[in-house]
Structure 1
């Protein structure tokens, strides 16, 4: 597959390179419809944060998507979920995400908890391979994108994925306006 968003990356078929993926990502990818259309590229782990990655590799910021882990609470119950939004936006955690996962209060999950629960590296958490039962909220702009760059579960690589493949991840719910313009 030819990737218009790859910049200077060398993109390889993700299914053929599990060594570039966190273990839960590799397992989930193997069972995902459309996985043959997913690419992976090795990167410098010090450049994994979106802005630095885009600047270093020439991949457009508006073709990157960020996955954030949300911790919701209602009474004494807690619920974890993930939101995937374009990197040029911010997840509406306290509005749409909170209402969709039916909690009273929502915030970003603490880093150590997000890492422990997902089995992925902070700064590389991705929607493919999240724990079973977690809601995955995907902004409609991500689902409609022909291709986006996301984490691989590790800081040393990135996945390149068509939006429709992400929309097909088990547990995914596509929502309009989940990603909001930064204020």
Structure 2
């Protein structure tokens, strides 16, 4: 059962019934999280801070996905890292070591958009390439539900964290991120 405060003033409906509100790869994979809900938004408010302020979605119930690229000996590896909106991924330590990379950084926007088939600002783990790990920060894993991108900037997904952790390649990683400030 969802906590209705996570939706703020948004009206969420079953995501599987509204593929027009999802990026194509998300629509193709949304069956993996049957309870997923989606809400249409004004794309002007797609960025997390604006979304939370405008629609009343709680910051501590909003999770962001970032695509990280690690490189060692000319070989690139990628991972999707999920953390709550008020936290930042530890790319230079935790992620770099987990990728077994000499260097790690956020993937360039053009690459992330092309590789995921999602719009920048809407990238999420649902529908990612199957060989990419999905690392979910412990602070996200401890929630019941989170608001995430839908692959497009005109809607948001609300998903149970158990469904997120049930995606292929997903795992909880404690201390993946730290509080900002």
- TM-score w.r.t. the length of structure 1 is 0.95
| More displaced 10-residue stretch of structure 1: 95-104 or 54-63 | 95-104
Q: How does 1:67-82 map to 2 (within 5 A)?
A: 67-82=65-80
Partner of 1:9: 10
CA deviations on 1:101-145 (whole Å, 9 max, x unpaired) are 211110001100100000000000001111120111111121221
What stretches of structure 1 move > 4 A for 4+ residues in a row?
none
C-alpha RMSD of matched pairs (Å): 1.1
Partner of 1:28: 29
Gaps of 5+ in 2: none
Match of 1:145 among 143, 146, 152: 143
For the residue of structure 2 that corresponds to 1:85, the secondary structure is strand
Match of 2:123 among 102, 119, 125: 125
Q: How much has 1:36 moved relative to structure 2?
A: 2.5
Match of 2:36 among 29, 38, 42: 38
Q: How much has 1:75 moved relative to structure 2?
A: 1.1
Q: Quote the Cα distance in structure 1 between the aligned partners of 2:150 and 2:157.
A: 5
- TM-score w.r.t. the length of structure 2 is 0.96
Q: Quote the Cα distance in structure 1 between the aligned partners of 2:177 and 2:149.
A: 17
CA deviations on 1:139-162 (whole Å, 9 max, x unpaired) are 112122111100000000000011
CA deviations on 1:72-108 (whole Å, 9 max, x unpaired) are 1001111111100011100111111111121111000
Q: Quote the Cα distance in structure 2 between the aligned partners of 1:118 and 1:87.
A: 21
Q: How does 1:106-117 map to 2 (within 5 A)?
A: 106-117=104-115
Q: Quote the Cα distance in structure 2 between the aligned partners of 1:4 and 1:170.
A: 29
For the residue of structure 1 that corresponds to 2:124, the secondary structure is coil
Question: How many matched pairs?
Answer: 180
